[in-house]
Structure 1
Amino acid sequence: MRNRTLAVFQHHLAEGVGRIGLWAQHHNIKLVCFYAPEDLPNSLTDYDGLIVLGGPMNVADNPMWMQTEVKLIQQALTLQRPILAICLGAQLLATQLGGQIIEMPAPELGWQDIRFNDGSILTVPQWHEQAITLPKDIAVLASSGQCPVQMYRHQHAIGLQFHPEWDAKQIEQLAEFFADDCPLTNDQHTAKYQSQLASFLFALLDAQFTF
């Protein structure tokens, strides 16, 4: 059987795949990273799935490269490829599902609690100023006090407004690049959150990209 390959769209040098890379290594899955806006594939037909990472861009700006990217996301939907879209990625995905992106009264920053539909709570890293609204036929799986759509699913696609891929090393990179603007910390208190976050993400990736 051939090795499975996932396309990854990355939007900022300091926002890489984080712990997704560890998961892929353990499962012998190849990640092919494209750095937008400079580098996007012509097609996704040769890939088994798609991961769209976050970034500081605003969906409302809609530059040409972003228009190209959402066409690729739409292609993945049409091809029924499994998709995991995170933060900016989840917002771009939402626009292709009939949703809208709106400005929040205040940004959601730092380690924050989200609540799943079963009542369980997960403390996650947040860094966003826009929120997602969705058509009623799309299942919302988690929410927070500030943001009613933290996780949603539509057929083979999952969108996350938060960042389960940000392990301690990734947060260090963000802090180095953004300095005092970075709202996240690594300390003994957050180590427990990181362990829970890893368990959540690895289970999600296993379920989403089971071929």
Structure 2
Amino acid sequence: MAPMARAQARRSRKAPVLVVLHQEHSTPGRVGRLLQERGHPLDIRRPRFGDPLPETLADHAGAMIFGGPMSANDPDDFIKAEIDWIRVPLKEKKPFLGLCLGAQMLARHLGAGVWAHPDGRAEIGYYPLLPTPAGQAFGESLGAPWPTHVYHWHREGFDCPTGADTLATGDDFPTQAIRVEDAAFGLQFHPEVTHAMMCRWTVVAAERLEMPGAQDRIRQIDGRFQHDPYVARWLDMFLDHWLAENN
């Protein structure tokens, strides 16, 4: 390849997105696929298994912290390190997205509480999502309305940190989506989940389906056919907006 062609190729390459996962075989699911379709390589790190996190995101388009069975309140060193590390994207004003555990870590980093439901209830399955006035305005800016129901798998929730905007609420766990300034978001739900992931979770962790509030496997599969097309449309538009914050 000629030098000029190599330079053009370098300029046309998109920066990677940092993806933080918490289990050995976890994947970023649909979110990872959509990022790659947009030309962004995935820089996958698993701090739980010894992977370091970068000191800067200067060479990344953004960062995402995904979910996991652990708690943001756990004393493990990797949990504390991830929560502290969130200062990097916030300070550099890089796009940041926390999903479920990642959203709770964002809340903890900003001084808000993460808590179990007082009645021991869980959200596992599809539950209503109610945008706030700020969330409605955000949905209009995306050009895609919020889905009416989204997929959850959690038994802890979080409070909206001081200075953040609540974009969507729910019933048992009121804080469902937050925005911190322009580029950082926390979502209590799982838009990344594929059909295969949902089927695997409901088998491998079937005991969780016995928790108060959890939906059985059949209801979850029925809910996916009913609600996921709207989640997919919203996610597609959301990622375009999220990535644009880096440009």
User: What is the TM-score normalised by the length of structure 2?
Assistant: 0.78
Moved more, 170-179 or 123-132: 170-179
Q: Which amino acid aligns with 1:92?
A: M
SS at match of 2:117: strand
Cα distance change, pair 90–189 in 1 and its aligned pair in 2 (3 A): closer
Deviations 1:137-159 (A, max 9, x none): 31000011111110000021000
Structure 1 or 2: more strand by fraction: 1
Cα RMSD (Å): 2.1
Provide Cα deviations, 1:14-69, integer angstroms capped at 9, x if missing partner.
Answer: 54211112211221111111123012324243322101100111122131111221
Matches within 5 A, 1:60-75: 60-75=73-88
Residue 178 (structure 1) shift: 2.1
Q: Find the counterpart in structure 2 of residue 107 from structure 1.
A: 122
Structure 1 ranges of 4+ moved more than 3 A: 118-121, 179-189
What is the one-letter code of the residue matched to 1:113? P
Tell me whether 1:148 sits opposite 2:148 in the alignment: no
Q: Equivalent residue for 2:69?
A: 56
Secondary structure of 1:60 counterpart: coil
- TM-score between the two structures when normalised by the length of structure 1: 0.90
User: Is this contact kept in 2: 1:54–1:87, CA < 8 A?
Assistant: yes
Deviation at 1:176, TM superposition (A): 4.0
Change (3 A) 1:189 1:21: same
Instruction: Name the counterpart of 2:226.
Output: 192
Which residue of 2 is the match for residue 203 of structure 1? 237
Structure 1 residue 121 displacement after superposition: 5.2
Change over 3 Å in CA distance of 1:64–1:120 after alignment to 2: closer
Between the aligned partners of 2:89 and 2:103, the Cα distance in structure 1 is 14
2:142 counterpart residue number: none
Cα distance in 2 for partners of 1:25, 1:76 equals 21
Q: 1:164 aligns with which of 182, 191, 194?
A: 191
| Mapped pair 1:79 → 2:69 | no
In the alignment, what sits opposite 1:40?
52
Q: Give the Cα–Cα distance (whole angstroms) in 1 for the partners of residues 127 and 25 of structure 2.
A: 21
Output the CA distance in 2 between the equivalents of 1:136 and 1:70: 17
Aligned-pair distance for 1:13? 4.0
Q: Secondary structure at the match of 1:19?
A: helix
Distance apart, 1:123 and its partner CA: 1.0
The match for 1:12 among 18, 23, 28 is 23
Which amino acid is 2:28 matched to? V
Aligned-partner SS, 2:44: strand
> Structure 1, unaligned stretches of length 5 or more?
none
Aligned residue in 2 for 1:133: 159
Partner residue, 1:98: 111
191-200 vs 129-138, which moves further: 129-138
Cα distance in 1 for partners of 2:27, 2:88 equals 23
Q: Which runs of 5+ in 2 are unaligned?
A: 1-10, 137-144, 210-214
Tell me which protein shows more helix as a share of its residues: 2
Deviations 1:116-168 (A, max 9, x none): 12396521111211111123431000011111110000021000001011121
Larger radius of gyration: 2
The answer to whether the 8 A contact 1:14-1:174 is kept is: no
